[in-house]
């Protein structure tokens, strides 16, 4: 065992996190769900979602047998919805190819949708004690600073150096504790801003600290200004219901239920073509801005009043007249939920 690992494990025994929900009743399934949820999401945000998710889907079989709408509904608000779709698909593969038992071979795990090298290593290390290095965002930061590995980790040569450091420091024993320890170190002390170097168990030979250059590591990608996109969302409402459409699987909010977007058509043409009715009134609400990782989106909400709700929708799998008082039919993106809540308040106030 390296001195780095030895000091990290000693620190973990006293200061490590041991009361996270997925650290109780440890199974490969629970660790897998937590690792997917934790991708690009903070622990405190994940905890309530994880708890509710594993109550509804306590094992691989229950997740595999669920409707995608139900899975996405439990994911609503957590973001990065491709994670939920891949989790669902992977559960179905585990049932079909592995008899419902989460695989224990690295090659089988990394072949599942939504699982890369680091996530596969983390699952097998934490759930089965297998020796696999990991390299999530926290670990990249710790190793880049400790070994003063320059450059943006997304660059292949930099990633290769970080993986070499991760492999070199991962011990042959106590792998589960070491894996949790190095993640905890990055999450609690070796943070991206205001790191607590004085309390760090591996600070005495941290090369970036010795060079007074901790903030410079890891290197950052040159950022360009995020582009701004615009769309118009239609809140067609009548009799306490609102018209929703399921989004295509590909693209943002794939598979989620959403408010329809106007596109290039006029509002009257859209109502005639889609709802088979005329517009009797309209209100424009204030712009709602939603930020994605690569661009910002300005949403112009338009509330449309129509004479009557059409009797049937064209495709019940992709369109519905949703009662505002009911649970959503599936997953709903955060800005869409915000608009639906606003519409519900608006409708309730109008009927007082």
Q: What are phi and psi of 240, to 5 degrees?
A: 75, 15
- The yes-or-no verdict on residue 352 having pLDDT over 80 is no
Q: From 165, 183, 216, give the residue that closes a domain.
A: 216
Closest by Cα among 42, 28, 58, 54 to 122:
28
In a domain, 221, yes or no: no
Active-site residues: which are they? 35
Beta-bridge partners for 296: 228, 291
pLDDT reported for residue 110: 98
Mean pLDDT confidence for 238-259:
92
Tokens in use for 243?
């018209």
In a domain, 318, yes or no: yes
Pairing assessment for the beta strands 279-284 and 241-246 based on DSSP bridges: unpaired
Find all residues with CB under 8 Å of 292, minimum gap 6, and list them.
252
Q: From 216, 247, 262, give the residue that closes a domain.
A: 216
Find all residues with CB under 8 Å of 164, minimum gap 6, and list them.
none
Tell me, yes or no, whether 163 and 128 share the same domain: yes
Tell me, yes or no, whether 251 and 203 share the same domain: no
pLDDT reported for residue 317: 81
Tokens in use for 206?
């941290």
Instruction: For residues 183 and 16, give the distance between their C-alpha atoms in angstroms, rounded to a whole number.
Output: 9
Pairing assessment for the beta strands 257-258 and 279-284 based on DSSP bridges: unpaired
Asked if 118 and 136 touch (Cβ cutoff 8 Å), the reply is yes
Please give the C-alpha separations between residue 279 and each of 4, 58, 89, 284, 294, in angstroms, as whole numbers: 69, 47, 41, 14, 35
Q: What is the pLDDT of residues 264-301, one digit of tens each?
A: 889 889 988 888 888 888 999 999 999 998 999 999 99
Tell me, yes or no, whether 155 and 15 share the same domain: yes
In a domain, 289, yes or no: yes
pLDDT reported for residue 1: 79
Tell me, yes or no, whether 234 and 197 share the same domain: no
Tell me, yes or no, whether 208 and 308 share the same domain: no
Instruction: For residues 59 and 54, give the distance between their C-alpha atoms in angstroms, rounded to a whole number.
Output: 7
Count of structural domains within the chain: 2
Which DSSP symbol is given to 275? Answer: I
In a domain, 196, yes or no: yes
Asked if 20 and 184 touch (Cβ cutoff 8 Å), the reply is no
Asked if 232 and 154 touch (Cβ cutoff 8 Å), the reply is no
Read off the pLDDT band of 306 (50, 70, 90): confident
Pairing assessment for the beta strands 288-291 and 296-306 based on DSSP bridges: antiparallel
Domain that holds residue 253: 228-350
In a domain, 329, yes or no: yes
Mean pLDDT confidence for 63-72:
97
What is the residue-averaged pLDDT of the chain? 94
Task: Give me the residue label for tokens 């170097």.
Answer: 197
Instruction: For residues 328 and 33, give the distance between their C-alpha atoms in angstroms, rounded to a whole number.
Output: 23
- 3 state SS of 184: helix
User: What is the reported pTM?
Assistant: 0.89
- The yes-or-no verdict on residue 192 having pLDDT over 90 is yes
Q: What is the pLDDT of residues 13-48, one digit of tens each?
A: 999 999 999 999 999 999 999 999 999 999 999 999
Tell me, yes or no, whether 29 and 165 share the same domain: yes
pLDDT reported for residue 310: 72
Tokens in use for 47?
């905890």
In a domain, 222, yes or no: no
Q: From 189, 216, 243, give the residue that closes a domain.
A: 216
CATH code assigned at 342: 3.90.79.10
Q: How many Cβ atoms from other residues are within 10 Å of residue 305's Cβ? A: 13
Q: What is the pLDDT of residues 93-152, one digit of tens each?
A: 999 999 999 999 999 999 999 999 999 999 999 999 999 999 999 999 999 999 999 999
Q: What are phi and psi of 16, to 5 degrees?
A: -70, 160
CATH code assigned at 141: 1.10.340.30
Asked if 55 and 79 touch (Cβ cutoff 8 Å), the reply is no
């Amino acid at each position: 065992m390296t001195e780095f690992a030895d000091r990290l494990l000693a620190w973990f025994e006293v200061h490590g996190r041991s009361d996270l929900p997925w650290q109780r009743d440890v199974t490969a399934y629970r660790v897998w769900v937590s690792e997917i949820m934790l991708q690009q999401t903070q622990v405190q945000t994940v905890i309530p979602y994880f708890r509710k998710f594993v109550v509804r889907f306590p094992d691989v079989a229950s997740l595999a047998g669920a409707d995608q709408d139900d899975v996405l509904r439990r994911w609503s608000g957590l973001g990065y919805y491709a994670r939920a779709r891949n989790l669902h698909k992977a559960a179905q593969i585990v049932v079909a190819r592995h008899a419902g038992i989460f695989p224990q071979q690295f090659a089988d795990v990394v072949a599942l949708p939504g699982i890369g090298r680091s996530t596969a290593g983390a699952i097998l290390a934490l759930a089965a004690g297998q020796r696999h290095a990991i390299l999530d965002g926290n670990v990249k930061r710790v190793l880049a600073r400790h070994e003063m590995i320059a450059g943006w980790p997304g660059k292949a040569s930099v990633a290769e150096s970080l993986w070499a450091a991760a492999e070199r420091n991962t011990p042959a024993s106590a792998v589960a504790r070491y894996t949790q320890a190095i993640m905890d170190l990055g999450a609690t002390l070796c943070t991206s801003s205001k790191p607590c170097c004085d309390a760090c168990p591996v600070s005495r030979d941290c090369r970036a600290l010795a060079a007074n250059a901790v903030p410079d590591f890891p290197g950052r990608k040159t950022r360009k200004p995020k582009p701004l996109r615009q769309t118009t969302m239609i809140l067609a409402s009548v009799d306490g219901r609102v018209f929703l459409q399921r989004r295509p699987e590909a693209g943002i909010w794939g598979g989620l239920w959403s408010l329809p977007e106007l596109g290039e058509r006029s509002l009257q043409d859209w109502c005639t073509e889609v709802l088979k009715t005329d517009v009797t009134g309209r209100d424009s609400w204030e712009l709602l801005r939603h930020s994605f990782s690569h661009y910002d989106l300005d949403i112009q909400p338009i509330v449309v009043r129509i004479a009557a709700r059409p009797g049937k929708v064209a495709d019940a799998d992709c369109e519905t007249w949703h009662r505002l008082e009911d649970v959503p039919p599936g997953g709903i993106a955060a800005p869409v939920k915000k608009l639906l809540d606003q519409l519900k308040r608006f409708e309730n106030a109008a009927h007082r």
